[in-house]
Each structure stands twice: as structure tokens, then as C-alpha cells.
Structure 1
């Protein structure tokens, strides 16, 4: 059995082979699908391939995998020698092969093709949203440069915002620039609708996404982003591993302060956004002990920012239970779930049916809404009375001080 180390780049890959404690160079391989497949066809079915995680590592692994026993993708952040190597040539391929042979190679999880497609679509949507936000900022900066105040309407590029823009007096060249930015904004909006239509169609076929939408603050966008980031939830044996994967677990610094790990992944930002909007007026709290300003809450003891991270951490635990154990939360109002699913169906291209009472028609009756609100307020009041006398340090044990003094 040979261990094939591949240090792949954009145009070529350096290949080495580890056999019985010795390294042997295999030369360079052009990063083209046909040439890489021809190189992989020369390998033995018992060989193992090792690749460093890069932008094209997944495609390269898919080409090599049918010809070898296994293909592992190494995490460059955890492989200290690879991540901080001063010479980025065949040394990486050598180290990858040696680490795998010794059993110390940290590998990353390779998602299946549907999950990879979902991740790509979610990434494209996020990029378009950022570009549209940047165009709004550019238009607003043009107005500020000519001493024009901010738009009084919520959406600068909406119908009211554009009517307000036409009334503003700016030079002719600036007017042409604003019109060009608006046309680009509309074009990106069309692309966004196509991507969102494809995303919601995949969401309608996924029961896990529907279960995530039962959490207050988690809409179809957040649910799809979390599903794409997590992938196969069975690879997390317990909720704490998912918390660590999202970068929300606390870590102890040398200064003695406990801080959450700063995971820069987009999934962490998505969970934080969902956690900040999980508290809605008139609905039961999913995570009341984190976001409530009661004396026993984290917000009162540690501040609003720490409470937001704690809420996101507990929300990730809820997500794990929903995906792993197929449970449904009770945080969402019962009439709202059919309405949310119907909105998803309309975004997916379903025809609108008018003149019929849908499953969420009861939510339009004021008496039903007021009754549900009273139930929620009663539940929140009962929870507040339950935790009113809670001691965060726990009950004091009798004889503990005396026992400590005896040990000293």
C-alpha cells in the first residue's frame, strides 16, 4: 500500500509516495480533470491519497477517489507544520504523507454532493446580498457628499426610496452614477430571486429544514444556512461537539477570563443573528434564562453581548436535538407554521390560490390571537415566578467550610 501525498495548487500538484518509511517523488500533475484522472488510474486500489484542504480539494478528491482505497483531506489550520511552512513546495506533500502514515493527520469531513450544492447556493446568495448592500452604501455616500441627509424611508432602493431619490438635486454625472447603481441593484435582485427559488425548492423536500423553522427567529434563510453548514448531523455524537464546530464554546485564556472561541465561519454569524431575534413579543421564550434581564439571567450578570453568545450556544443545542432526534419545538405559534410553509411554496413558484381559507386562517381572527397571547403571557409569568428565587451559585452545603479547614 502506498500513501500518496498531493500538494495541490491552482495549476499543478506536487505528488509524493510514502512506502515502508521512504519517500519517493512522483513529479508534478497538471490540475486538469483528464490529466488528474490519468494519474489516478496508475495508482493501486489499495493506495491512500492525502490532500491539503484548498479551494479545489473537493473536486480533486472526487476524481482520485474511484481509483484508490481512501482519500483524506487534511485541515491546514491544525497541521501546524503545513500551515506555517516557509517553503510551500513538495514539503507539504511529504509532511501530509508522513503524518497520515503515523496516524496524526487531522482530516476534515467531506460533504456529499447535495450538501456541497446547498453550500454553494447559500454562498452565492450571501455574496449577492453583500453586493446589494454595498450598492446602497455607495448611493448613500454620493448623497452625503452633496450634503443630502439620509433617506427617511426604510429601504433606499424601494419604491418610496426611489421616489425620494428622484426629488434630490445632484450633479448630472452623479445622477447617471446613481441610475447605474440602481440598474445593477435590480439585476442582482433578479439573480437573487432565481437562487432563492432553487433554495426553497430544496427546503420543501427536507424535513430537517422544516423542523428548524419551528424555532422563533429562524426563517427559511437561516434554516438553509444551518443545514448547509452542519451537513450530516450524525457526525456529531452530542450537542457540545456541534457547539464547538460552530465556534460558540467558551475557552479559558491565560488571563483567567472565559471567552467564547472566535469562530469566523459564516454559520456562527447565522446562529448569532437567529439568537438575537429569537425573543419576539407575545410568543413563548425558547431560551428565557439567557436573554431575560432577570437577576438569574446571563444578561444581568455578564452583559448583553455575553448573553447573546450564550443564547446562540443554547440555540445550537436545540438545533442538534431537532436534526438528530427529529423533535419539534413549541416556540412557534401553531397557526404561523402553515403560513410560513405557504410562503416558502409561493417562493418556490407555486401558484397562488385565492378565495379559499388556508390552514393559517384562524390566526386572522383577533379573538384567537388574543387568547394565544394570554396563554403566552401566563407561561412567561409562571417561568418568572419559578426562577425568581434561583441561586446561581447553588445551595450552601453544611460543613463544607469546616471540611476545607480540616484538609488544610
Structure 2
């Protein structure tokens, strides 16, 4: 039985043991995905196992997984404090062979950090006042001890890692929220302070220019959230999006009210930078860069005005900051890492989506049994937006 399904032994001391009544002696399906970059496209890299259904933690719950977003993380990465190629959908460049788009990771990948499901059991030591009960529709906050790998049932060690969602909210939409969308929300909210400062410096007639780089799920969430937090709040803000691929160009256009710039990687950097500045009416003030390459960050820096800020995922920043810190100082700009976000922000995100204030990006739902075909399509950029795997068709 793969150990991925269970909390490792060195973490058991953090949580009270399960009680006999919480044990379930049956098996469930689990899907694990290895990196195609490591094992090669010609070999199997999607595996399905029969594993034991996890026990119910005394202070937590067991969730029947209904939907899970296509989400990839490094084996050694911290879940709640790092970025990932999760939510990037078909724009992630996961298996591309182009030398200009090699943003793929070489270690094993595990999916399953974006989970929506139904509470199947609750631990015996959970307070009845917690607000969560059996049968509730929930999403799982991506905590550090989150067991990697898709499985039909998931053990959640603490009840406060569950966020209740309205019964009428689509579980496939909800599955997009816990990781990628949450990270995008945290990024936009951090950018809000910068936008406010720049708007004050430029005065009532000034315009703050924001550039969102990428058109995968992360960038599309950021684009929608930025339009809500900035445009809807009457900030004088101009939003542009830089696409890395043609299909991303079409997706960004669907959002409307934004200028779209195509960053064709075959062109010279000077041409791409000039094209970006032309579309943004000069240098930009804020860059939200969901790219994972040195080339993307280098281009973003050269598009920024003095005093500007580029926001990167924490993991990407850890890798690229040593290389670009001196250049950022020379240009008078700031590179700011952004972590995933908090449980409270996840609750806020649920409210924004459920109320219709923020529309989710396009997504497609596939049976979990088709995981291998789905990953192949993602590798070939044949799925626009997000890919969601469905484990059960009914909450019963």
C-alpha cells in the first residue's frame, strides 16, 4: 500500500490517534502521477492503486473526494508556502519540447491538493460547535501535511482545514479554489497596497498599469480578481495580460476589458519589451508574473517603471531571487514573493465566487479513470483552462 495515502509516522505525534470506531476496513482508488519529464512520454507515468481508506483523525474528518483539480507540486515542496504548476492548466508548459518554454520540473509530481468533496465522517474529539457536520460540501485548505495523491477518500487531521461551501455551488468549480485561485487572491490583495500607493503618487489623473503574465489557471484567476478589486473599486487602473501561447491569447480575450500582448518566444527580447510597453502606454507599475523561467522574469523587470513591484510565487522567487536581486536593485524595482494564502482568504474566495462577483475561468471535468488521457492532453495543450478529475458522480 503506498504510504502517500497516510500521514507519515513522524507526524502522527502532532495529532491524536484514531479510535477503533473511526476505522474503515475497505479499499478505495488512488491516482498518482509521476513527472513525464522524468520518466519520459513513452512510459507510463499515471498509476492507479487500490489502497486502504484512511482512518478518521480524532480532531479532524474524512472527506469523500468528489472533484480534484489538476495540480502538480515538487515532492519536497511545502504545500501552504510555495507556488506550483497547479492551476496552470494547458498553459503550464509541463511537457513541451520547445527550448524556449522549459519551465517543467524534473522531480516527481503528485496531484490532489485542490480537493472538493463531502464530509463522510468526523473525529470523535471534534467540537459540535465547529460548524462542520457529516454531509456538508467542503473544500480542503492545502495544509502542509496534506497527503499527496488523488484518492477517493481523504483524511484531514484538523477540522479547521475544511471550508464549507454552499450546496448549490458546483463542486468542480469549488475544486479550483483551494490552491491556485487562493494564491492568485493573495497576490492581488498584496498588489492592492502597491496600486493604492502608486495611484496616490500619480494623482487623480494618473493611471496605474498592471501586467499579468501567463494565461493558465493562475493568471486567469488573477485577471478576474484584479478586475474585481481594482476596476470595481474605481481605481484608475489599466490591466494588460501577456500570453505565452495562442490558446492563452484566446482565453484572455474572453475575459474582456483587457489588452492582450502575445509574448512569442521566438522573437527578440527587445521586440517583446517594446510591444509590451506600447500596449501598456509606457512602463508598467505592477507585474504579477506566473511564469517560472528566468526569461519571463527578466522581461518583466525591463517592463517595470522605477519603484514598481513584480509579484512572484514564493517557490519561484526562492529559485530566481539570487540571480535577479542585483538587477532589481539597479532598476529600482522590488521583487516580492507571495505565499498561497490563509484559510480566511479561502472563505472570502468562496463568497466572491458564489455571489458571482468573480467568475471562475473555463474548466473541463473528466472521470478519474481517464487521468492518463487527461495528462496527455494537458501536455499537448489540448485542454483550455483547467482540468478537473471527478471521483464520484453523487455525494451519496
**Higher RCO (C-alpha 8 Å, min separation 6):** 2
Please state which band the TM-score falls in when normalised by the shorter chain: under 0.3
Q: Which structure has more strand as a fraction of its residues? A: 2
* Structure with the bigger percentage of helix: 1
Per the normalisation by structure 1, the TM-score is 0.20
- The structure with the largest alpha-carbon Rg is 1
